[in-house]
Chain A
Amino acid sequence: DQQVKQNSPSLSVQEGRISILNCDYTNSMFDYFLWYKKYPAEGPTFLISISSIKDKNEDGRFTVFLNKSAKHLSLHIVPSQPGDSAVYFCAANTGGFKTIFGAGTRLFVKA
């Protein structure tokens, strides 16, 4: 049972444009959501997060939006840069130590 789903395995975007990565979840008990970024041969690194009491969190070029009624969150990267090319994992937890990850979306930013 996939509680966190990233339905797009890959996304290709032109440098300077917006990248939008999407994530859906099924467990209404999730109250904290995170995005991780992974480069080849490295472990995932934390990028940005959002609590369920908010609907938006912004950090520089990265913004996460949360739509609780739709059980959907998205990561916006503006402007996209070639160095943003990586796999992005959506993750969620219920405030405990168990975090559920999505399968990831591979982002290609073309120069």
Chain B
Amino acid sequence: DAMVIQNPRYQVTQFGKPVTLSCSQTLNHNVMYWYQQKSSQAPKLLFHYYDKDFNNEADTPDNFQSRRPNTSFCFLDIRSPGLGDAAMYLCATSISNEQFFGPGTRLTVL
């Protein structure tokens, strides 16, 4: 089945220790997104790629970076995680209005 895969599902890191979350897709969609969702809040868009074109949201902290080496893979790098970065991180893809989400990675910062 075509899908969006996120690894790992659960990630624990220490305060200030860099961490990378990964996302892959078999849908061959040209747009990929990263969202941050905190408990009982709306998913918040961090950035998206249209093919290789990177689009950063104005309020995304500099601490968050992303890489998309090819159509299938996209990475979220958090350079120095703080306690406030603990959240669910959702990856999504699309070719039109509807988005297809992965299961998410829950990040814990100790």
Chain B contact residues: helix, strand, loop or mixed: strand
Residue from A43, A45, A46, A89 within 8 A of B104 (CB atoms): A43
Expressed in whole angstroms, the Cα–Cα distance for A49 and B97 within the complex equals 9
**CA A87 to CA B1, docked complex, whole Å:** 24
Find chain B residues with CB under 8 A from A36 CB.
101
Q: How far is the CA of A99 from the CA of B35 in the complex (A)?
A: 11
Q: Which of A63-71, A76-84, A101-109 contacts its partner?
A: A101-109
Residue A86 interfacial (CB < 8 Å)? no
Verify A103–B40 contact, CB threshold 8 A: yes
The closest CB in chain A to the CB of B41 belongs to A103
With contacts A43-B90, A43-B104 known, is A99 near B41, CB below 8 A? no
Contact with B along A88-99 (1 / 0, CB 8 A): 010001010111
> What is the total of A-B residue contacts with beta carbons within 8 Å?
55
Whether B45 pairs with A98 at a CB distance below 8 angstroms is yes
Q: Contact between A46 and B98 (Cβ–Cβ < 8 Å)?
A: yes
Determine whether the beta carbon of A34 is less than 8 Å from that of B98: yes
Binary contact track A1-36/B, C-beta < 8 Å → 1, others 0 = 010100001000000000000000000000010101
Q: Is the CB of B101 within 8 A of A43?
A: yes
A89–B43 CB distance below 8 A: yes
B contact residues, range:
20 to 34
Known A43-B104, A46-B100; judge A4-B50 contact (CB<8 A).
no
Residues of chain B within 8 A of A93, CB atoms compared: 97
Does A42 make an interface contact (CB < 8 A)? Answer: yes
A97 touches B48 (CB 8 A): yes
B97 near A32 with CB under 8 A, answer: yes
**Any A CB within 8 A of the CB of B4:** yes
Add 4 more A-B contacts to A43-B90, A102-B42 (CB < 8 A). A34-B97, A97-B31, A97-B55, A103-B42
CB within 8 Å of A: which residues of B? 4, 31, 33, 35, 40-45, 48, 50, 55, 57, 90, 92, 94, 97-104
5 cross-chain pairs, A with B, having the tightest CB-CB distances, nearest first: A43-B101, A101-B42, A46-B98, A103-B42, A101-B43
24 contacts between A and B (CB under 8 A): A9-B40, A34-B98, A36-B101, A43-B90, A43-B92, A43-B101, A43-B102, A43-B104, A44-B99, A45-B101, A49-B97, A49-B98, A93-B97, A95-B97, A97-B33, A97-B50, A98-B48, A99-B97, A99-B99, A100-B42, A103-B40, A103-B41, A103-B42, A104-B40
